[in-house]
Amino acid sequence: MMMSSLIEETRAGLVENIHDGLICGVNDQFQTLYQVGDVEQYVYYRSAAKPIQAIPAFMTGVKEKYQLTDEEATLFTASQRGEPYHIAALESLLKKIPVAETDLHCAASLALNSEPRDEMIRNRQQKRRLYHNCAGKHLGFLAVCRELGYPLEGYWKIDHPLQQKITAILSNLAEISIDKIKVGIDGCGVPVFAIPLKNMAITYLKLACPDLIEDKEIRKAVIQITKLMNENPNIVASEHFVCSVLLRDSNIVAKGGAQGVYCFGLKKERIAFALKVLSGSEEVWPNILVSILEQIDYSNKNTIASLKELRPNIVKNDAGIEVGKVETVFSL
């Protein structure tokens, strides 16, 4: 694998951590504009696939049929973190669509964010499938199965008609044949897809620029999905997370995934990026994204400033004293 260092963390001038990785940026001709490392390397989407996995729910009109609020429908794309507004929307969504919590294949969990998780523990609340980070996605899957007459049992298996439909949509968006898509099992138990990093960037280019999508039904769903993500950024993640910060910028479509995968598209510029931090770290996302946006001279400086607030390029000790630096070491 051809890779490059993306981030070096130093303490008193000595390199303490190095985060290697891959970056690919493409234009609306599907050409590679920016490259760090091997852009043909296969990478798992993890949760960066959620906007794509949500497309069948919007193609089948679930939002309209069950009169879902924007927040409830946005959950289909989300990596929700158990904040009170997430739980309220999940509870409401579960009441509206004709499925039971026991139908969810994801594991019972507590909230991901520390404050709501601690509150759940103090209140002696039990783990629930509804609290899982991917519960919104799974509720969307089940709603589609109900609408299309697919069996609920086994909706998480790759040979299920729902997963076959999702695979075909991914193939369309990624400009890659189905036989070249590699499939594993994600943390929540459903199929997770791996494709070359360049093709991953192409999918986010099409999310940002849906005019590039030939299929009218997929295009219509993508327009609806990305609008909801931009209008409800905290539902997609929560206040102080990268996805929500980027999605507050109406020019950006973005979603991260576990193990260091991040994708985003820029609507006006008609370019998109996919990246993989090979250490699996998500902590360094803000530093990498700031560097990418600064190197391409991105116009919205407020977005860049918000990312810098998430993780400044300094290392502090427990007393708040500066003891080191976080340095980006790649050039596009």
Given a cut of 90, is residue 3 above it in pLDDT? no
Mean pLDDT of the region 121-129:
96
Mean pLDDT of the region 53-77:
98
Given a cut of 80, is residue 61 above it in pLDDT? yes
Query: What are 328's two structure tokens?
Result: 């980006």
* Structure confidence at residue 277 (pLDDT): 97
Mean pLDDT of the region 294-322:
95
Q: Enumerate the β-bridge partners of residue 23.
A: 36, 275
* Structure confidence at residue 1 (pLDDT): 72
**223-253 pLDDT, tens per residue?**
999 999 999 999 999 998 999 999 999 999 9
Q: Give the whole-angstrom CA distance, residue 298 versus residue 267.
A: 12
Cβ(173)–Cβ(213) under 8 Å? yes
Given a cut of 90, is residue 151 above it in pLDDT? yes
**251-270 pLDDT, tens per residue?**
999 999 999 999 999 999 99
Q: Which residues contact 301 (CB under 8 A, 6 or more apart)?
A: none
**Helix or strand or coil: residue 6?**
strand
* Structure confidence at residue 2 (pLDDT): 78
Q: Report the percent of the chain where pLDDT is more than 90.
A: 97
Burial of 296 (0-12, 13-18, 19+ CB in 10 A): middle
* Structure confidence at residue 95 (pLDDT): 97
Helix ranges (DSSP H) in 191-240: 197-208, 216-231, 233-236
Given a cut of 80, is residue 195 above it in pLDDT? yes
Given a cut of 90, is residue 220 above it in pLDDT? yes
Given a cut of 80, is residue 93 above it in pLDDT? yes
Give the chain's largest Cα–Cα span.
62
**Helix or strand or coil: residue 297?**
coil
* Structure confidence at residue 80 (pLDDT): 96
Q: What is the CB-side half-sphere exposure of residue 194 using CA atoms within 13 A?
A: 14
What are the boundaries of each domain within the chain?
4-328
Mean pLDDT value across the chain: 97
Mean pLDDT of the region 29-34:
98
CATH of domain 4-328: 3.40.710
DSSP secondary structure string, 52-96? HHTHHHHHTTHHHHTT--HHHHHGGG------HHHHHHHHHHHHH
Whats the size of the chain, residue-wise? 332
Q: Give the whole-angstrom CA distance, residue 292 versus residue 298.
A: 9
Given a cut of 90, is residue 187 above it in pLDDT? yes
